[in-house]
Amino acid sequence: MRLLFLSTFLLFSLYSFSQNKNLGIGLQSTFPTKGFSLRYDLDSVNQYQFSYTIFKDYSLNRTLYGGKYSRIINRFEYFQSYTYVGFMIMNYSQLGLPIEYGNEKSGTTFSYGLGMGIQNTLFHRLNLSLEGGVGKYNFNKTNEDFSFVGGFGLHYFFKRKD
């Protein structure tokens, strides 16, 4: 019951706030994670995005909090291209790995990256984005790697001011 009440309150709060803003909710995926996302278009060029992800595999439980700033660099007939810079903070806990072999049971990591993408708005409210980038991604304390990543996003905007 509390979850239903909280969900309803959150939905109406977001809807009320978004009536004069370009605020969207949706899904964001950047390999190997996927989760919920809030995107705020400050104006027709600058965008902010915040993500929340719960990611589990055979040995780790991960909770990720991410942020991204995007800037539109070109507008074409059917899509816009943009650049972005992002960060991610991850809390993790390992499952079934003994500590005596040098494994930490839990911790926090920080990742960052930059890249480019393209996006298109369908039906004036549904935004689809595809992106690729490079950065320092840490998915546990022993796996810090400079790598390439790709991702996509799908966001629904309550009201667009284009």
d(CA 151, CA 69): 15
| Complete domains list, the chain, with CATH | 2-157 (2.40.160.20)
DSSP state of 103: -
Average pLDDT for runs of 10 along the chain of length 162? 48 50 86 84 92 76 89 94 93 68 71 93 90 80 71 87 58
| Model pLDDT, residue 14 | 52
Q: Would you say the C-alpha torsion 82, 146, 107, 53 has a positive or negative sign? A: positive
d(CA 90, CA 55): 10
d(CA 66, CA 23): 17
